[in-house]
């Protein structure tokens, strides 16, 4: 799962938790409000029954006499009513009293049955005039919620009406006993809410911690420990969803890095690697993706926005920046240079692996051209004065004019360096007589009938050469060529026509897509082999050439991928991979060919590892005819 996906998942969990918390909080508050409302109503309802009884009692006692005037003049009667009211005075009903409104509109005591803070006869009491006057006006009870007073909760007002006129008001002040009781009732609810809240809070913390830890681990697994840039592990993730139209690819290598390591030690090498990464980071932009690809090899995906030359420009900046940088190790001022390969059109490649491989080829050319330089498709073409990618018409014309030829590169026996066989490599001779490699025409015709025609032509050329000199020659085909019935018929037809020399032919198979129809493939390989031909797996160790092939197909020879071979003397990892592949091949009794032998050191290293056959520029370049080099 990517970091983004995980972040989305955790965000969803957190949002859900917070939503649940908020919902519960409002739910508890709603319950509280409902309780308060219901209990308040219950209290008022009960109280109003008492008050009605008191009013009836007053009526019985006074009959039609005026209430205020009579009580003013009769102290005993006042005392009687005070006693009556005091019966109601409880913890909940804090004050029970009767006020009358004087001519000036001021409310004054006539009777006070309160147990505490009792008012005297005619003593004014500052009340909420507006609400009290309502009772006089409507002659109906009124309830006042006194949120602004600290001591009182609610006041219930009941009018004493005589002869259609309000004479006084019976008032009952509720203490905070009621809300306190409600608070007591909802306490367990509140407490459980607090526990739930704490639990949710802990859960949120745990989720955040888990997310943080996951991120940390993922970041660590995606980062190269030495240089702190992305490693190959993350490269694999990145390549899964890459849009090749949006990037140009740059692959660079620190020149003579092994020499730096040998001269100053590995610690100095580490400092150089870190310094180079720092220099590169100064020159690249936010959208560019920078990876440590191998030992001293770095891969950069340059984001293309509007400038089609951005890859070359960034490459130049990287080269210049590193060239002027000085890396200091134990008072030694070390300077390094880099060789850079640039692939300006990765989308022209069939797969991302092919695009990287092509970039690697450009880097190889840069190294071959003396290092400390940049090579891209355009620069290579310019330098060699070779044509640019050929059009279909140009390719057709070349076919018609029989300008399709093969160059042959010797493959040597690793023990005595004698030539064991040759690899046929297809070329087109341009109108000007220049030799054009397959890169410039193969992709253009891949899905056309010309491709089948090319296969037929090459196999004919190869058999002609075999018939002529009876030497072992291998030619390259894709696995998909053998699955495609039309191409297969051409291949098997040619073999059948040359069955007497078919034993000299080796077919090197490579594949850029996942193999699926193994049964048919096996059947056809078996048929080819029945004529004495050999089958080799090309570029083993990269792309889709995996171990399953050996399990399911009768393979005779294994050719290790050149990208693994070329830095075998500099990359410990490449060395170990190649070593384990050779070990594996030996276990299967399958001979190994190591291509890309570009130096004496590499050759000796492969000899030491026990590779049976060697091929590469260091030994002999591909040329016309079955030649050999000294």
Catalytic residue ranges: 296
Q: Is 117 in the site for other proteins (CB under 8 A)?
A: yes
Q: Is 104 in the site for other proteins (CB under 8 A)?
A: yes
Single out the residue of 4, 45, 103, 126 in contact with other proteins (rule: CB under 8 A).
126
Smallest gap from residue 169 Cβ to other proteins (A): 14
Query: Is the separation of the CB atoms in 40 and 47 below 8 Å?
Result: no
Q: Is 35 in the site for other proteins (CB under 8 A)?
A: no
Query: Is the separation of the CB atoms in 143 and 171 below 8 Å?
Result: no
Smallest gap from residue 91 Cβ to other proteins (A): 15
Smallest gap from residue 6 Cβ to other proteins (A): 51
Q: Is 18 in the site for other proteins (CB under 8 A)?
A: no
**CA 403, CA 411: separation in Å to the nearest integer?**
25
Q: Is 571 in the site for other proteins (CB under 8 A)?
A: no
Smallest gap from residue 174 Cβ to other proteins (A): 11
Q: Is 442 in the site for other proteins (CB under 8 A)?
A: no
Q: Is 103 in the site for other proteins (CB under 8 A)?
A: no
**CA 215, CA 210: separation in Å to the nearest integer?**
8
Single out the residue of 21, 92, 114, 571 in contact with other proteins (rule: CB under 8 A).
114
Of 114 and 248, which CB lies nearer to other proteins in the complex structure?
A: 114
- Residues 130-149 binding other proteins (CB under 8 A) are 146, 148-149
Q: Kindly state the number of chain residues that form the binding site for other proteins, as judged by CB under 8 A.
A: 24
429 CB-contact burial (10 Å; exposed 0-12 / middle 13-18 / buried 19+)? middle
Smallest gap from residue 286 Cβ to other proteins (A): 55
Using alpha carbons, select from 612, 613, 616, 615 the residue that is nearest to residue 598.
616
Q: Is 124 in the site for other proteins (CB under 8 A)?
A: yes
Of 94 and 421, which CB lies nearer to other proteins in the complex structure?
A: 94
Gyration radius of the chain's alpha carbons: 48
Specify the 3-state DSSP secondary structure of 223: strand
Query: Is the separation of the CB atoms in 531 and 493 below 8 Å?
Result: no
Helix H or strand E encompassing 206: helix 177-222
Q: Is 56 in the site for other proteins (CB under 8 A)?
A: no
Applying CB under 8 A, the span of 56-64, 102-110, 352-360, 459-467 interacting with other proteins comes to 102-110
Smallest gap from residue 121 Cβ to other proteins (A): 6
Single out the residue of 54, 71, 98, 127 in contact with other proteins (rule: CB under 8 A).
127
- Residues 147-206 binding other proteins (CB under 8 A) are 148-152, 173
Applying CB under 8 A, the span of 90-98, 137-145, 475-483, 538-546 interacting with other proteins comes to 90-98
Smallest gap from residue 21 Cβ to other proteins (A): 32
Smallest gap from residue 127 Cβ to other proteins (A): 7
Single out the residue of 34, 65, 75, 122 in contact with other proteins (rule: CB under 8 A).
122
Smallest gap from residue 149 Cβ to other proteins (A): 5
**CA 146, CA 153: separation in Å to the nearest integer?**
6
Specify the 3-state DSSP secondary structure of 470: coil
Of 126 and 587, which CB lies nearer to other proteins in the complex structure?
A: 126
Cβ partners under 8 Å of residue 86, min gap 6: 96, 113, 114, 115
Q: Is 470 in the site for other proteins (CB under 8 A)?
A: no
**CA 378, CA 477: separation in Å to the nearest integer?**
27
What is the DSSP secondary structure assignment for residue 531, as one 8-state letter?
T
Applying CB under 8 A, the span of 120-128, 228-236, 549-557, 590-598 interacting with other proteins comes to 120-128
Using alpha carbons, select from 390, 239, 376 the residue that is nearest to residue 309.
376
Single out the residue of 13, 39, 125, 386 in contact with other proteins (rule: CB under 8 A).
125
**CA 551, CA 542: separation in Å to the nearest integer?**
17
- Residues 232-251 binding other proteins (CB under 8 A) are none
Q: What share of the chain is helix, strand, coil (3-state, %, to 5)?
A: 50, 20, 30
Q: Is 416 in the site for other proteins (CB under 8 A)?
A: no
Of 123 and 496, which CB lies nearer to other proteins in the complex structure?
A: 123
Applying CB under 8 A, the span of 118-126, 420-428, 486-494, 592-600 interacting with other proteins comes to 118-126
**CA 28, CA 195: separation in Å to the nearest integer?**
13
What is the DSSP secondary structure assignment for residue 124, as one 8-state letter?
B
Of 110 and 602, which CB lies nearer to other proteins in the complex structure?
A: 110
Single out the residue of 93, 95, 247, 540 in contact with other proteins (rule: CB under 8 A).
95
Single out the residue of 33, 41, 90, 123 in contact with other proteins (rule: CB under 8 A).
123
In 414-513 the beta strands, taken as DSSP E runs, fall at: 419-429, 435-436, 473-478, 505-510
Measured at the CA of 218, the angle between CA 216 and CA 221, to 5 degrees, comes to 110
**CA 564, CA 573: separation in Å to the nearest integer?**
9
Smallest gap from residue 205 Cβ to other proteins (A): 38
Q: Is 90 in the site for other proteins (CB under 8 A)?
A: no
327 has which bridge partners? 334
Q: Calculate the alpha carbon distances from 409 to 6, 13, 402 in Å.
A: 51, 62, 21
123 CB-contact burial (10 Å; exposed 0-12 / middle 13-18 / buried 19+)? exposed
> Token pair of 368, please?
């071959």
**CA 621, CA 407: separation in Å to the nearest integer?**
9
Single out the residue of 14, 39, 106, 200 in contact with other proteins (rule: CB under 8 A).
106
Q: Is 121 in the site for other proteins (CB under 8 A)?
A: yes
Measured at the CA of 298, the angle between CA 293 and CA 302, to 5 degrees, comes to 110
Binding site for other proteins (CB under 8 A): 94-95, 97, 104, 106, 108, 114, 117, 119-127, 146, 148-152, 173
């Amino acid at each position: 799962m990517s970091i983004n996906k995980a972040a989305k998942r955790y965000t969803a969990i957190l949002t859900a938790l917070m939503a649940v918390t908020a919902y519960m909080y409002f739910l508890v508050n709603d319950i509280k409000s409902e309780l308060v409302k219901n209990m308040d109503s219950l209290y008022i309802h009960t109280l109003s029954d008492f008050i009605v009884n008191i009013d009836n009692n007053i009526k019985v006692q006074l009959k039609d006499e005026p209430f205020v005037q009579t009580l003013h003049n009769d102290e005993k009667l006042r005392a009687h009513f005070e006693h009556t009211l005091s019966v109601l005075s409880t913890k909940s009903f804090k004050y029970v009293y009767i006020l009358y409104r004087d001519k000036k509109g001021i409310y004054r005591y006539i009777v006070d049955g309160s147990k505490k803070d009792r008012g005297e006869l005619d003593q004014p009491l500052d009340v909420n005039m507006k609400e009290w006057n309502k009772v006089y006006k409507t002659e109906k009870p009124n309830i006042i919620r006194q949120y602004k007073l600290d001591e009182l909760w609610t006041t219930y007002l009941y009018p004493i009406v005589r002869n259609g006129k309000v004479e006084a008001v019976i008032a009952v002040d509720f203490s905070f006993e009621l809300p306190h009781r409600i608070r007591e009732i909802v306490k367990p609810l509140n407490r459980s809410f607090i526990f739930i809240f704490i639990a949710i809070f802990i859960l949120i913390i745990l989720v955040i911690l888990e997310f943080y830890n996951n991120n940390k681990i993922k970041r660590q697994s995606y980062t190269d420990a030495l240089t702190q840039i992305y490693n190959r592990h993350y490269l694999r993730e990145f390549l899964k969803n890459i849009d090749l139209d949006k990037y140009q690819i740059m692959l660079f290598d620190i020149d003579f890095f092994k020499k730096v390591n040998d001269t100053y030690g590995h610690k100095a090498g580490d400092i150089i690697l870190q310094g180079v990464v720092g220099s590169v980071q100064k020159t690249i932009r936010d959208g560019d993706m920078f990876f440590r690809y191998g030992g001293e090899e770095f891969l950069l995906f340059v984001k293309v926005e509007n400038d089609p030359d951005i890859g070359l420009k960034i490459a130049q900046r990287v080269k210049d920046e590193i060239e002027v940088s000085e890396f200091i190790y134990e008072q030694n001022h070390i300077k390094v240079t880099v060789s850079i390969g640039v692939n300006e059109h990765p989308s022209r490649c069939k797969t991302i692996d092919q695009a990287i491989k092509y970039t690697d080829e450009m880097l190889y050319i840069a190294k071959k051209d003396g290092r400390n330089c940049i090579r891209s498709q355009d620069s290579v073409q310019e330098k060699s004065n070779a044509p640019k990618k050929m059009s279909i018409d140009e390719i057709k014309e070349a076919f018609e004019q029989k300008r399709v030829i093969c160059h042959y590169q010797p493959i040597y026996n690793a023990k005595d360096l004698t030539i064991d066989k040759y690899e046929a490599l297809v070329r087109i001779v341009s109108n000007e007589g220049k030799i054009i490699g397959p890169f410039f025409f193969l992709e253009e015709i891949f899905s056309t009938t010309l491709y089948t025609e090319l296969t037929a032509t090459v196999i004919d050329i190869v058999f002609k050469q075999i018939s002529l000199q009876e030497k072992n020659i291998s030619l390259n085909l894709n696995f998909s060529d053998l699955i495609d019935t039309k191409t297969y018929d051409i291949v098997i037809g040619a073999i059948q026509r040359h069955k007497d020399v078919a034993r000299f032919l080796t077919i090197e198979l490579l594949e850029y897509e996942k193999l699926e129809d193994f049964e048919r493939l096996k059947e056809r390989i078996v048929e080819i082999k029945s004529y004495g031909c050999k089958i080799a797996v090309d570029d083993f160790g990269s792309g889709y050439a995996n171990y399953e092939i050996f399990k399911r197909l009768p393979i005779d020879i294994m050719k290790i991928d050149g990208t693994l071979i070329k830095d075998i003397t500099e990359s410990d990892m490449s060395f170990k991979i190649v070593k384990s592949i050779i070990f594996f091949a030996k276990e299967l009794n399958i001979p190994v060919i190591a291509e890309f032998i570009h130096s004496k050191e590499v050759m000796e290293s492969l000899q030491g590892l026990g590779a049976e056959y060697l091929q590469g520029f260091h030994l002999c370049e591909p040329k016309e005819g079955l030649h050999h080099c000294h």
